[in-house]
Amino acid sequence: MSKSEDKILLVDDDLNLLKVYEQIFKMNGYNIMTTPDSTKALHMIENNYISVVITDIIMPKLDGTELLKRIKLRRSQTQVIVLTAEGSISGAVDAVKLGAFTYIVKPADIEELLFNVQRAQKLFVTYEENIVLKKQVAELSRLNPLIGKSQSIEQIRDTIEIVAKSDSAVLITGESGTGKEIIASHIHNKSKRAGKPFVKVNCAALAESVLESELFGHEKGAFTGADKTHLGRFEMANKGTLLLDEISELTLSTQAKLLRVLQEKEFERVGGCTSIHTDFRLIASTNKNLLDEIKNGKFREDLFYRLNVVPIFLPPLRDRKEDIPILAKYFLAVWSRELNKIIEPFPPDIMVAFSAYNWPGNVRELKNIIERLVVLSRGSVVSLSNLPEELKTGSKPVLSAARSLKEARSNFEKNYIEAVLEKNNWNVASSARELKLARKNLYNKIKEYGLSSKSR
């Protein structure tokens, strides 16, 4: 964080001192705010991104010690430097015990004051980053792994490993529910920005007027109801990663403003006139074909090429059915743990039904259906009768796609054998006994259908 990106607040009832210090801090590149009123200072702290407060210890209304206490209650990470006269040093020492960064005796040595402000700012940044990091560690613990053994998933994993090392823009495309946000999270968490904010915006969920305020932020009084300064997502994502989900839903006007931010790395808050520098890595995602949107005049071509530096396409679940048994096993374990239930592995007939179904809602639908099965289970076994009707009849798309009865039989046999192997954790001896096959014949079937236990 540079000096100009956060604010310093100086509180002192000596108006001449305020003017002098204001000029000194501005000359040294600081964004300085001043007030002689200690009660007004509290409102300024609530409505602005203030990293350091410099306050006199003896003032009318609220003295410096009481102001310190209230600041720490509201914004514990904001650092407070106390200015004190020779005769009130004991009060300044007490202030340090209450959480002040340090105290400086008046008249302050300017070099000493600037040095301590710089140190206090660094401590503020450290606290802010730790808060962000704790949130992200908690989120990471809930993050779904990128599960699958299909060739497309293997290629995506390889791409993530490569692209995470750069700051290049990434455009993730794929149907709703395929897991585009998971890919974005993995790119961020494997990048050099992993300890910084990962900020997500759903562009489809917000009206244009609200979205602009969310992205750019707004100043206090910028519009009716703007009773305090609001940091936008561009600002919040500084040094980190910004995910714009469903970016195709941005209006052409907002697209033009986004393009300017990407080109200049600067923006102004709504109602503001000060340029704010930002440094974020952009990841965008969409379930639409942006080239078609360009042809239809709904998406800017120049913005598309800014976004599409590294394209990643996530295929629908119906096109990577070899991932279904692995995903089903994973979600069964997740929901069993979450709901404190002991559920046996899905029997082969259920796994075959899963593989036969077309999954229009993709991985999200699979996850939700398995949650439902676990929630409604009365015992430890889930049977075929527990499945929703659409899954019981879901084999029709697969059968109609088969060119012959022989191919349909092969599809069923492959899915059934794989389901039994998954159930038995790929123990060939146990699976052969359940299938009533000689172990040698099962090995031949595994080789014939190209089955594999590897999930990464």
In the numeric block, which tokens belong to residue 105?
A: 């005796």
Q: pLDDT class for 380, splitting at 50, 70, 90?
A: confident
* Ramachandran assignment for 325, one of left (phi > 0), alpha (psi -120 to 50 degrees), beta (any other): alpha
In the numeric block, which tokens belong to residue 429?
A: 């001896």
Q: pLDDT class for 287, splitting at 50, 70, 90?
A: very high
Asked whether residue 167 carries a pLDDT value surpassing 70, the answer given is yes
Domains (ranges, CATH) in the chain? 3-136 (3.40.50.2300), 146-315 (3.40.50.300), 318-449 (1.10.8.60)
Q: HSE on the CB side for 341, CA within 13 Å?
A: 24
When comparing pLDDT for 287 and 377, which is higher? 287
When comparing pLDDT for 94 and 224, which is higher? 94
Asked whether residue 279 carries a pLDDT value surpassing 50, the answer given is yes
Region 297-318 average pLDDT: 96
Q: What is the pLDDT of residues 410-421, one digit of tens each?
A: 777 887 888 788
Written as one letter, the residue type at 227 is D
Q: What is the pLDDT of residues 80-131, one digit of tens each?
A: 999 988 766 777 788 888 888 998 888 888 889 999 999 898 888 877 766 6
Q: What is the pLDDT of residues 182-198, one digit of tens each?
A: 999 999 999 999 888 99
How many angstroms separate the CA atoms of 269 and 254, rounded? 14
- Cα Rg of the chain, angstroms: 30
Furthest-apart CA atoms within the chain: distance in Å: 98
Neighbouring-strand partners of residue 200: 243
- What is residue 230's three-state secondary structure? strand
What was the pLDDT predicted at 210? 86
What was the pLDDT predicted at 213? 86
Which sign does the torsion angle of CA 150, 155, 159, 162 carry? positive
What was the pLDDT predicted at 284? 97
Please say whether the beta carbons of 81 and 52 come within 8 A: yes
What was the pLDDT predicted at 163? 96
Asked whether residue 305 carries a pLDDT value surpassing 90, the answer given is yes
Give counts: helices (H), strands (E), the chain. Answer: 20, 14
Say which DSSP state 171 is in.
Answer: E
The least confident of 133-142, 184-193, 349-358 is 133-142
CA distances from 269 to 105, 123, 215 (A): 38, 26, 9
Asked whether residue 31 carries a pLDDT value surpassing 80, the answer given is yes
Place of tokens 């076994």: 381
For residue 107, cis peptide bond before it (omega within 30 degrees of 0):
yes
Q: Which uninterrupted H or E stretch holds 276?
A: strand 276-277
When comparing pLDDT for 47 and 203, which is higher? 203
In the numeric block, which tokens belong to residue 339?
A: 């709901």
Closest among 225, 60, 61, 195 to 126, alpha carbons compared: 195
Instruction: Enumerate the H helices of 147-266 as residue ranges.
Output: 151-163, 180-189, 208-216, 233-236, 252-264
